[in-house]
Amino acid sequence: MHRKYALDPRPPLITNPKVCAQLSIAALQRNLAAHSIKNPDISVVGSKNEMKERLTALLEMRKMDMLVRDMILGNDRDVFEEEE
What confidence tens digit (pLDDT) does each residue in 39-84 have? Answer: 999 999 999 999 999 999 999 999 999 999 889 988 876 555 554 4
Q: What is the pLDDT of residue 7?
A: 85
Please check whether residue 12 lies inside any domain of the structure. no
Query: Does residue 9 lie in a domain region?
Result: no
Give the chain's domain count: 1
- What is the C-alpha to C-alpha distance for residues 37 and 28, in angstroms, rounded to an integer? 15
- Residue 40 lies in domain: 17-83
Q: What is the pLDDT of residue 84?
A: 41
Q: What angle do CA 70, 72, 74 make, to 5 degrees?
A: 65
Tell whether 4 is covered by a domain: no
Q: Is residue 62 a part of any domain in this protein? A: yes
Which pTM was predicted? 0.84
Is position 5 within any domain?
A: no
Residue 11 domain flag: no
CB 52 within 8 A of CB 37: no
